[in-house]
Chains A and B, each alone.
Chain A
Amino acid sequence: MQYAWMPAVLLALASRAVASQTITVPGNPSALIVTAAVIGAQPTPVSSSTNYSITTPNPAGRTYKVTAQLTAALPAGVSIVATATAPAGASSAGAITLSTTAQDLVTNLSRSLNYTGTITYQLVATVAAGVVSSQTRNVTLTILRFP
C-alpha cells in the first residue's frame, strides 16, 4: 500500500479546487425592443438591468475580473452594450459594446469577496439595421483571475 497516502492528498487538492471563484445570475433581462426615435435622429436605445453575484476565494495576492462575450454575432446596425457595477476597490470598465470576443466588464476584484451587482444591457440600433424580428443572443459572463 505504498500509495495509501494518495487519496488524502487528492481530496485535499479537490477541496481547494471547489473553493474557487463563482458567478451566478438570477435570470435574464427583459426583452429589449427599439420602438421609437427622436425625429431626425437615430432610434432611441432601450435598456434592461439584471443582477449578477460573485464570490472570490481567499488566497492572498489574488485578484479577479468578470468578462462578457456574445456567443454569436449581432445583425448589422445592432449592438448590445453592457455596463456592470463594481464593488468598492474594483473597477467597472463602463459601457462595453459586446462582441464574440471576451471583454472585461469589471476588474481588480479582491479576494474573499461576496458581491451582488447590476448589469445593464442596452440595445442600440441605427436606422441602417432596418426592422429586426425578435431574436436572442446568449451572453457568457466569466469570472477568472486577474490580471
Chain B
Amino acid sequence: MTDDAVGIAGQVRAGAISAVAVAERALGAIAAGDDVVNSFTGVLAGRALADARRVDELVAAGIDPGPLAGVPFAVKNLFDVAGEVTVAGSKISADDPPASADAEAVRRLSQAGAVLVGLLNMDEYAYGFTTENAHYGACHNPFDLTRVAGGSSGGSGAAVAAGFVPLTLGSDTNGSVRVPAAVCGVFGLKPTYGRVSCRGMLPFCDTLDVVGALAPSVRDLAVSFAVLHGYDPDDPVSADRPREEAVDLGAGIDGLRLAVADGYFARGGSPEALAAVSDLADALGVSERITIPHAREARAAAMVITATEGAQLHLASLRSRPADFDPMTRDRFLAGALAPARAYLQAQEFRVAFRERMRALLQTVDVILAPATPFPAPVVGQREAIVDGARVLTQPYLGVYTQPISFAGLPVLSIPVTTVGGLPLGVQLIGGHFAERTLLRVAAELEERGLARMASAVTPWR
C-alpha cells in the first residue's frame, strides 16, 4: 500500500524518497493521463514543486513536515486557492478575481505537509451527481471512459481512481463525496455537518454543505480527517468541540452494534447495488435490520432546501447573466428562486425533527449499512434508467440513498466493496453525529478482512 497517502508520507518523512520526486511523478501522471479522464481543470506545477522543496528542506533539517509530508493532493475547484480563481465549475465565477488565501481545509492539509498539485472538475456550483460540465467538459470514469465519474465532486473521485493523486477534497451537500467515491471505487468520508471548516469554500447550500476527503485507503481518510477536523471560529456553523485523538484503526469491531437499513434503502436500486449491502452484512454476520423513518420525505425536503438556498446564493447572476449558466443548473436554480418560502421553511422545520429522530435511532445502533448509489456509473449523456421496472432520471436519482442521510447532518463513510461488469459499487457506513472515529474503525476492519478495498482501474498512464 505504498501508493496511498500514508505510505508516501512515511517514505518522505524517512528520507527514502523526496517530496519533489513524488510531486513530479504526480504531475507526470496527470500530464500523461488526464486528457482522457478530464478530472483536472487546473494544474499547479509551480506551487507543487515549491511546496515539495520546502518539505524536503524540513526533512533534511531533521524537522518533521507533518503526517502528510509530501503527499500530492488536489481539490474540487470550489475551494479557494491563493492566486487562483475559484471557478466552482462555472463560466460566471471565472470572471472573479483570484482568491487571496487558501481555504481553511487546503491550509490545514498544506500545513500538515501535503502538496497541492491541482484543481478538480465538478458540476457547476456543485449542483449535480454526474460532473457532465457544460463549460469544462465531462469528467470520465477511469474504470470506463464512456461513463461518468459521479458528482458533484467527480474530479475528486476520478483523480484518486486514476492514480493521479492519493488524496482529494470534495464537498458533500446531498452526496457529492459519496456518489463519486462509490462509482469510482475509492473511499470517501463525509464528516458530520460543521465538523470540518467550510471557510474559503464557495457554498452551494449553507445549511447542508460539508467538506469531505476521498482516498485509496481508510488510513488515508483517518489521517486527513485528523488534520482537517476541528473548530474554526471564522466558520459560522463550525462545531465548537474539542479535537479528537487519532483513531486506533486496529481496534476491530467487537462491541459495536451494526444494522442494515431496510425499507426505503432496500428497494429502488439495481439488484447488484442492493446485493452489495446484503453480501457485506452476511460476511459480517449482521442480521439486524433497522428502518430509517421518513427517508423519502427527507430526500424531498433536501431537494427543496438545496434548490432554494442555491438560487438565493446565485440570484444576482440569475438576474444579470442567466444565459451563462450551464442549462441544467440554470433551470433548477430558476425553479428554486420561484419556490414559495413556506416550502423552504417547512423543509427546515422537518430537518430539525428528522435530525432528532435519527439521533435517537443511532443510540440503538452504532453503524447502519446502506447502498451508496442505486446503480454503477451511468454512461455519459445517459438521461434515464429503468429501476424496479420504473423509469427514473439518472442524474438526480444517483443521490436517492445519500440525500436522506446528509439531510440529518450525519457522518458517512462510503466504502468500495465490489465491481459489477468492471464498474465499482459502494456501501455507506452511517454513524451518529460526530462518530467519524467509529466509522473509520469499522471501515478499517472491513479493509483488513478484504471486504472493502479500492478497486483497480485500468490506468495505462501510471
Q: Do A and B form a real pair?
A: no
- Which residues of A are in contact with B by a Cβ distance under 8 Å? none
Residues on B lying within 8 angstroms of A by beta carbon are none
